[in-house]
Amino acid sequence: MLAKVTGLHTSNGGVPKLPVDILSVTAEGCIGDTQNDLKHHGGRDKAVCIFQQEIIEKLNDEGHPISAGTTGENILIQGIELGDIQPGTIVKFPNVELVVTQDAPPCKTIKKSFSDDNFNAISHKKFPNYTRWYAKVSIEGNIELNDPVQIIN
């Protein structure tokens, strides 16, 4: 299966982030996206948050009420093997290039996406393949739904 973008999300702060058709990405972050907690989110090294569609589907199968945008991701992708993304991975879209900097540790603000408020279900330390990732922007531009995604390790 060709890897592709399945969701793009922004918010005026907090979660859920709401769907948009086009995400404009700059070195400072996503246009129209604001973080309430700038100590833990945002900035050049955490400009974009990436998550995998397959993780949401697996968590749904486990009974969690998670859905696109509810854990604060900006870009939802599908078709990449779980575990293939790590710090240093380059994530390429037709007009944008990102470099993964670190995992995005979960916090209580996303607890409603999980059964029994168990937001640690996407803790990289506890479940290494169920990870949201932060990335910095090496090429700015626009990302659209269904854009192809290429991973370079």
> What pLDDT was estimated at residue 34?
85
The domain in which residue 52 lies consists of 4-152
Q: Is the pLDDT of residue 109 over 70?
A: yes
CATH number at residue 77: 2.40.33.20
> What pLDDT was estimated at residue 1?
65
Q: Is the pLDDT of residue 135 over 80?
A: yes
> What pLDDT was estimated at residue 37?
65
Write the pLDDT tens digit of every residue in 22-42: 999 999 999 999 876 656 667
Q: Per mean pLDDT, which range of 34-38, 69-73, 97-101 is the poorest?
A: 34-38
- DSSP annotation of 126 reads T
> What pLDDT was estimated at residue 10?
97
Cα–Cα distance list, 100 to 13, 65, 114 (Å): 22, 27, 25
Q: Is the pLDDT of residue 13 over 90?
A: no
Domains of the chain: total: 1
The mean per-residue pLDDT over the stretch 33-54 comes to 84
pLDDT band at 43 (very low <50, low <70, confident <90, very high): confident
